[in-house]
């Protein structure tokens, strides 16, 4: 099964939304494989946001991500990258659809509550960036046929 990275950002941490956000992914049927709280620093953020390094708002993003610790988590499921990304909603919380995490809890472009991997390839590199191999657990939470049809997993 596919795996993805989800970061609960400082805006959500400061608003006590950790449990609510995790609950949404659990209720969807995704399986938590690893989770930890960590304080991000310049080095990891330079790597994580390297694709934005030439943008004028790059330092603002880094500052925002270092306001508090974040909760990084790894989830698995069939098409989990796409599912989690859709559940998060569009980057701009003001235009994110109600029912998405950003649509329900964010009114900002930058302070947008959550990060989710956007491709399978990015998910793999992001999980490696934030987790050691011994911090990701692969186990069967329950019979996959409870969540998926026989030909889906």
Partner residues linked to 71 by β-bridges = 8, 37
Catalytic residue at 51? no
CA distance 18 to 71: 8
Q: What is the DSSP letter of 98?
A: B
Find the helix or strand (DSSP H, E) in which 94 lies: none
CA distance 80 to 144: 14
Closest CA to 27 of 150, 147, 151, 149: 147
CA distance 16 to 132: 27
Phi, psi of 49 (to 5 degrees): -105, 25
Question: Do residues 102 and 52 lie in contact, with contact meaning Cβ atoms separated by under 8 Å?
Answer: no
Q: Which of 23, 48, 86, 115 is catalytic?
A: 115
Q: Which residues are catalytic?
A: 115
């Amino acid at each position: 099964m596919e795996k993805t990275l989800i970061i609960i950002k400082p805006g959500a941490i400061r608003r006590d939304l950790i449990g609510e956000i995790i609950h949404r992914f659990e209720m969807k049927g995704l399986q938590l494989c690893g989770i930890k709280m960590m304080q991000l620093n310049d080095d990891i953020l330079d790597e994580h946001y390297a694709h934005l390094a030439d943008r004028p708002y790059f330092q603002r993003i880094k500052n925002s991500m270092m306001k508090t610790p974040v909760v990084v988590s790894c989830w698995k499921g069939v098409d989990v990258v796409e599912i989690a990304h859709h559940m998060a909603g569009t980057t701009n919380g003001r235009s994110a659809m109600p029912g998405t995490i950003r649509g329900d809890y964010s009114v900002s472009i930058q302070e947008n509550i959550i990060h989710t991997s956007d491709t399978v390839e990015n998910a793999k590199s992001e999980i490696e960036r934030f987790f050691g191999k011994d911090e990701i657990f692969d186990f069967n939470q329950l019979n996959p046929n409870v969540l998926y049809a026989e030909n889906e997993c």
